[in-house]
Amino acid sequence: MRLGVHVSISGSLSAAVDNAVERECSAFQIFTRSPRMWTAKDIPDKDAAEFRQKLSASKIDRFATVAHMPYLPNLASPNAATHAKSIAVLIKEVERCGKLGVPYLVAHLGSHLGEGEGKGIKQLVSAFTKAASVKNDVVILLENTAGQKNSVGSDFDQWAEIFSQLKPKDRFGVCFDTCHAFAYGYDLRTEKDVSATFKKFDDAVGFENLKILHLNDSKGEIGSNLDRHEHVGLGKIGEKGMTAVVKLAAKKDIPVILETPIDNVRDDFGNLRKVKELVA
């Protein structure tokens, strides 16, 4: 099973590989730059080469590495200026991933800001279509949302509707976040619930399109629309549900990435150990 966490790039991009190796990861996720800024300096050739070299020298499968979009862009925004600015960041991130040799880029689907789901979906399709024109092989992964007000892509059928409009097909996939699905209203608390929820997912979106799974427990109750991640097994999904999800991902050979808190309860090492215990 390919398992890891979101790791820091503090110091250098290649430090992310060191951090992943230190945590005994077989998968990992990064931001390629500060996630709280609109702009970023270009990646120097030397830094990109160092990242690729360290990754190649590690035992981590390149196809279990993924980058995440920064927080500020809203690809579903009805505001023309914000939408254009968000597309520019998306395109730049696709280019940065290509330079680093990272095959996947996870993108949040954003908010239509009250202008309606139809408008939000139209804006998303436009943004992703433009980003797919970048001449590399980076695959953009659409991540499900927790159902916050004005968000799009929480319901599996709507997620599938967005995904079905994207071309070329080989440039797109999806990233399933367990906390987001649960917060929207999909039950994941028992093995039976997990089986039923992923059957709905498969019927709508398709397992063949699932490239990365974000394994996060939830601080909020089912249907709360609260995007608050909790330590694996200690949230409202709980240990039974987390175990069932982990075993399903292992069976399907889908890389699993944790985006769990780091606090006095557990750190990355503790959550990774917990997941390995669940699989065992």
For the segment 189-195, the average pLDDT, to the nearest whole number, is: 98
pLDDT value, residue 222: 98
State how far the Cα of 267 lies from the Cα of 247, in Å rounded to an integer. 22
pLDDT value, residue 64: 98
Q: Which two tokens stand for residue 256?
A: 């699993």
- Going 136 to 137 to 138 to 140, the CA torsion angle's sign is positive
> Which pairing describes strands 217-218 and 210-214: parallel, antiparallel, or unpaired?
unpaired
pLDDT value, residue 262: 97
pLDDT confidence band for 251 (50 / 70 / 90)? very high
pLDDT value, residue 111: 98
Report the catalytic residues. Answer: 36, 68, 71, 108, 143, 177, 180, 214, 227, 229, 259
| pLDDT per position as a tens digit, 66-83 | 999 999 999 999 999 999
pLDDT value, residue 116: 97
Cis status of the peptide bond prior to 70, with omega within 30 of 0: no
pLDDT value, residue 209: 98
pLDDT value, residue 253: 97
pLDDT value, residue 176: 98
pLDDT value, residue 18: 98
Nearest to 176 by CA among 109, 124, 226, 223: 109
pLDDT confidence band for 172 (50 / 70 / 90)? very high
Buried b / exposed e over 147-158, threshold 16 CB at 10 Å, is beeebbbbbbeb
For the segment 220-240, the average pLDDT, to the nearest whole number, is: 98
State how far the Cα of 204 lies from the Cα of 197, in Å rounded to an integer. 11
Q: Which two tokens stand for residue 166?
A: 């994207």
pLDDT over 90, % of the chain: 100
DSSP single-letter state for residue 40: -
State how far the Cα of 26 lies from the Cα of 60, in Å rounded to an integer. 5
For the segment 237-242, the average pLDDT, to the nearest whole number, is: 98
pLDDT value, residue 260: 98
| pLDDT per position as a tens digit, 81-126 | 999 999 999 999 999 999 999 999 999 999 999 999 999 999 999 9
pLDDT value, residue 17: 98
What are the CA-CA distances from residue 219 to residues 33, 80, 142, 256, 270 (Å)? 28, 35, 23, 20, 18
Question: Among 3.20.20.70, 3.10.110.10, 2.60.40.10, 3.20.20.150, what is the CATH number of 3-279?
Answer: 3.20.20.150
For the segment 268-276, the average pLDDT, to the nearest whole number, is: 98
